Structure 1
């Protein structure tokens, strides 16, 4: 029996399942494990090739009859917030973002559960426990950070300010990849999802990284529509990463 470890990733294909984004469609995914000393290098290469990370798994759609999922990355150096985004930045000027090692906390999980219960009651993550959350954060073999967004403590207040949003993000050789984010569902007027993307663009520029990877934009899915608002950006097409030209009707 050959016991020599392979240096090349082994890829697998999932069985068909209902698509969570487009009614009536079936999805399949190709995936591999991100483990071992080359995990960071492989995560970079696979993300640049259209994969996403979930814990120690890298996956991408491999659907038989649909190509609606498109990998998106913001061109951070060229990005300029529009008027609406500048208003979001102003509305959240009282927030402070801090990056930490990928370690979960009870406070984070409490906010995570409130977010799921309010916005994703029927989703695949709806029954996640504290242990599931801890695994989601900690089960990484790549450079991962937890970024907390808190209100600035009021004068005389002991301890940190209120936690209002959290992002789990990978640091890659050419950018930041937003793996998952969540926020206080009672603060919708703050547009915290948009604010976290804007903060990642700022961080990427400060780190000298050219891209912010947003995962998949699904044409026809309303909840994914926000991703094409951050311009300029590139989409991964059959010919490679291509500058996105927004249609007038979008």
Structure 2
């Protein structure tokens, strides 16, 4: 008898669209439907191959003539915060972290809305309503959770949507208060997720795509050591040596399962 993990999973391509990271470029994605009985298994394998999740789909870029989006992850056991990151941890020592089920709340959406209006008012997510936010959080076939960060007076300061993988945590999306820039809450969220990953005894924190040349994604290279996916293998990122950019394969190189 053939197990469900031996059944084929079909890949689809999305229509081309504007690149959200590099101006004047066109984006194209390959998609996989995760809404299957083995969703967590499939999601873990695809994440290891450089895919990301949005709602019930896993996706990866297959842009013509461009492979600027490079999968990046942090090996938790090797991470050591630098001087700036240590200050960020100290400045946010008063915040409490809680991991809760993926249920959207009005309080989360209010913070999410302020974050978008402040940082991404011209982005593709700028028009998201409470209904859209609820779908982003709750429409998931995998092990998804929300990490909330609260001030001593219980004010919600930041939140991260995460997926639990076989070999780590995947940071799907984070948003935070931009009214206290001295806290560096975006960086603190990643630092706290690194700690959470270690506490869960998982080896990696997946951060999505690092895009050299994109100011939006430059922050990811500040977390060292990091690993990037090149030619089908995870390799240590040398931030002082630009990675070789080659045209991506239309499908992940090597077996997924």
* TM-score using structure 2 length: 0.90
- Map 1:144-183 onto structure 2 (within 5 A): 144-153=144-153, 161-183=154-176
Distance in 2 of aligned mates of 1:164 and 1:148: 8
- Map 1:15-54 onto structure 2 (within 5 A): 15-54=15-54
- Map 1:99-118 onto structure 2 (within 5 A): 99-118=99-118
Distance in 2 of aligned mates of 1:108 and 1:70: 30
Q: Which residue of 1 aligns with 2:210?
A: 217
Q: Which residue of 2 aligns with 1:234?
A: 227
The alignment status of 1:125 with 2:125, answered yes or no, reads: yes
What's the offset of the Cα at 1:248? 7.0
Distance in 2 of aligned mates of 1:220 and 1:184: 26
> Once the two structures are superposed, what CA deviation does each residue of 1:158-177 show, in whole Å capped at 9, x if it has no partner?
xxx10010000001110010
Distance in 1 of aligned mates of 2:208 and 2:181: 22
Q: Secondary structure at the match of 1:185?
A: coil
The alignment status of 1:65 with 2:65, answered yes or no, reads: yes
Q: Secondary structure at the match of 1:23?
A: coil
Distance in 1 of aligned mates of 2:152 and 2:164: 26
Distance in 2 of aligned mates of 1:43 and 1:109: 26
What's the offset of the Cα at 1:7? 3.3
Distance in 1 of aligned mates of 2:232 and 2:42: 21
Distance in 2 of aligned mates of 1:119 and 1:137: 20
Distance in 1 of aligned mates of 2:94 and 2:42: 38
Q: Which residue of 1 aligns with 2:253?
A: none
Tell me how large the CA RMSD over aligned residues is.
1.3
> Once the two structures are superposed, what CA deviation does each residue of 1:135-167 show, in whole Å capped at 9, x if it has no partner?
1000011111101000123xxxxxxx1001000
Q: Which residue of 2 aligns with 1:92?
A: 92
> Once the two structures are superposed, what CA deviation does each residue of 1:32-76 show, in whole Å capped at 9, x if it has no partner?
111121100010000000000011110000001111100000010
* TM-score using structure 1 length: 0.92
Contact 2:99 2:148 in 1 (8 A): yes
Q: How many residues align?
A: 237
> Once the two structures are superposed, what CA deviation does each residue of 1:72-114 show, in whole Å capped at 9, x if it has no partner?
0001011000000000001101100100011111100111111
Structure 2: which 5+ residue stretches go unaligned? 1-5, 243-257
Q: Secondary structure at the match of 2:10?
A: coil
What's the offset of the Cα at 1:207? 1.1
Q: Which residue of 2 aligns with 1:158?
A: none
> Once the two structures are superposed, what CA deviation does each residue of 1:198-243 show, in whole Å capped at 9, x if it has no partner?
0011011111111000000001001100101111111000141111
Distance in 1 of aligned mates of 2:54 and 2:104: 15
The list of structure 1 runs, each at least 4 consecutive aligned residues, that deviate by more than 3 angstroms after superposition, is none
What's the offset of the Cα at 1:244? 1.1
Contact 2:96 2:149 in 1 (8 A): yes
Q: Which residue of 2 aligns with 1:156?
A: none
